[in-house]
A = this chain, B = another copy of it.
Amino acid sequence: MSDAVADFRADVEDWISEALPSALQGREMGPAGNGPKRTDSDSQKWFDACYERGFTVPNWPRAYGGAELDKARHQVLREVFRAHGAPQPLGGMGVTMIGPTLLEHGNDEQKERHLPKIANGEIRWCQGYSEPSAGSDLASLRTKAEDKGDFYLVNGQKIWTSGAQYADWIFCLVRTNPDVPKHDGISFLLFSMHDPGVSVKPIVLINGTSPFCEVFFTDVKVPKRDLVGQENKGWTVAKRLLQHERSSLSGLGGGPRADEQGSLVDVARQYLGVDEQGRVADPSLRRELIDHQIRSRAFALTQRRSHEENQAGDVPTFATSIFKYYSSETRKRRYELQLRMMGTQGVGWEGDSFSDDELALTRTWLRSKSGTIAGGSTEVQLNIIAKRVLGLPD
């Protein structure tokens, strides 16, 4: 490590010891990382401290609220955060998706207008991609935007819009030319969810929650200055953004969450008991537990290898393509296994006969099913690997 980077580490260490409220150590931020104001003062304090240093978006230019950290310093920052159990001060699609996309594809005016409000948490974003008949085949989307001179007139419907009920703005794929091959007539627009003609309907999932919405557009007027990239070239922007999304969904660099890993063994011990040698008592479920742990450990090592390769060479690594597929399938299996370990206590729905953890498991199990569907289904991921990595013919 260079001296300058070492100095940076020392500096950040000093700062974090001051800035991080001890009550937040090892926890997540109260309300899940959207919106500028926190419900608890510790979270607000931590957010403010990070924002002041540009650490809500550490690698963004200072002009847009970032700290302009290079790769090495950004990594140091992550390590210090992790060592101190410091929560990410800001999450959401602003930071993880549209922000990086605008940095690459936005014009200066767009960057100046949108990025600072992402960095300071003022504006929450949602993603207008999927449509009822355009799921895995995203490019077949039908929401149309007609050129009306100064503005586009947008009509259509989106589905699976995560957090649309809380979002202020949407980045949205629309069809601006229906008469060309499907990939060639798509544009990438930004507009406010508070604009006239936008309405939102939450979708109830099989686990009873509503993290997604349907969003309807009726004669929404979008000024042309909020077209990102060129008209009809939105697919390029969209694909780049999907890469940001996938690396975010796969928890790249983070590995399986520690709380998820440890607890499966605890669950096994609690619900199945242990034998004289301390082994999980049911040999069949023990076997599946170990298989899962082996799978998880091998995957975590692969994430580490990918990270190291990245650090060392900057070459796009082989391995990122497998992360979304493998992590979502592994997570799904994990909950299937936990369910079976817990017997009838694993399939409760509500009421005092089940502990909070037990009831949460039922819901999380059901929710984990979407991991292999949303954000590029398992089938789509396998197609991508077969085509891009293995070079198998269409």
Contact = CB atoms under 8 A, between A and B. Distances in A.
Contacts of A287: 283-284, 287
A348 to B, nearest CB: 28
Interface string A257-298: 000000000000000000000000001100100000000000
A283 B283 CA distance: 7
Contacts of A284: 283, 287
A284 B283 CA distance: 8
A195 B283 CA distance: 64
A287 B287 CA distance: 10
Contacts of A283: 283-284, 287
Nearest to A284: B287
A291 to B, nearest CB: 10
Nearest to A283: B283
A384 B342 CA distance: 40
Interface in A22-62: none
A287 B282 CA distance: 12
A238 B284 CA distance: 48
Nearest to A286: B283
A268 to B, nearest CB: 16
A70 to B, nearest CB: 50
A135 B287 CA distance: 40
Nearest to A287: B284
A340 to B, nearest CB: 14
A167 B207 CA distance: 65
A235 B287 CA distance: 50
Nearest to A282: B283
Interface in A343-360: none
A386 to B, nearest CB: 16
Interface in A282-324: 283-284, 287
A283 B287 CA distance: 9
A287 B369 CA distance: 27
A338 to B, nearest CB: 20
A285 to B, nearest CB: 11
A287 B283 CA distance: 9
A284 B284 CA distance: 7
A53 to B, nearest CB: 54
A275 to B, nearest CB: 12
A290 to B, nearest CB: 10
A121 B284 CA distance: 53
A219 to B, nearest CB: 38
Interface in A133-151: none
A283 B288 CA distance: 13
Interface of A: 283-284, 287
5 contacts: A283-B283, A283-B284, A283-B287, A284-B287, A287-B287
Top 4 A-B pairs ranked by shortest CB distance? A283-B283, A284-B287, A283-B284, A287-B287
